[in-house]
Amino acid sequence: MWIYEKKLEHPVKISCPDVAFAKLVITQYGGPDGELSASLRYLNQRYSMPFDNAKALLTDIGTEELAHMEMIAALVYKLTEGACPEDYQAAGWGGQYVQHDNGLFWTDANGIPWSAKYIAALGDPITDLVEDMAAEQKARATYEHLIQMTSDPCVKDMLRFLWEREVVHFQRFGEMLNTVQDWQAQKQHLWCGHRPPEEETEED
């Protein structure tokens, strides 16, 4: 169950339209390391987490990633507001206009549509949490690249906010990874590479 607030998590402002940058930032809408991939990954993986705190973390972060996808959508709409076919053509994004006009579609910066192959769900909490940490690092790096590709201070501010959230998510997943590993190390749970101290003997 979620509560929907009719406002963006962080203000989305631009100095002026920029179709060329919209073509780049769309990758965080539907690219392999974008917000759609993140939200679906976490909201799916939560079901195989071993206890409630882990499920809650994945639910919280997965929900926030939906809010980030909303922010990227708002940014793309603002960057393309009032753009004509010639503007899309000049930006090398004519295919977007032909297929979608100014409507959004889940693609990366090269126009490749989103695919479920971007998401892994192994059902093993350690594996999934490690993948989640890697996903956050890839998203962080992508935002750094996007920040370097725009001179608009308003856009940079929004992208820096999203960058910061990726860093926080990485930290939270790392903390939960440690918690799950400690939980699995208990003798009533799955062995994870070492025996708990109470099972060690002098022969060891």
Percent of the chain past pLDDT 90, that is, above it, reads 84
Bridge partners (DSSP) listed for residue 113:
107
For the chain, the domains span 19-183
Give domain 19-183's CATH superfamily.
Ferritin, core subunit, four-helix bundle (1.20.1260.10)
Please write down the long-range contacts of 94-98, taking CB distance under 8 Å and 24 or more positions apart: 96/23
pLDDT at 184 exceeding the cut of 90: no
- At 178 the pLDDT is 96
Q: Which residues are annotated as a binding site for Ca(2+)?
A: 60
Q: Which residues are annotated as a binding site for Mn(2+)?
A: 35, 65, 68, 136, 169
Instruction: Determine the Cα–Cα distance for residues 8 and 20; give it in Å rounded to an integer.
Output: 24
Output the average pLDDT for the chain: 92
CB count in 10 Å sphere of residue 52 = 8
**What stretch of H or E contains 22?**
helix 19-25
What mean pLDDT is predicted for residues 64-85? 97
- At 187 the pLDDT is 61
pTM recorded for the entire structure: 0.89
What mean pLDDT is predicted for residues 39-55? 95
pLDDT at 86 exceeding the cut of 80: yes
- At 204 the pLDDT is 46
pLDDT at 201 exceeding the cut of 60: no
Q: Which residues are annotated as a binding site?
A: 35, 60, 65, 68, 136, 169
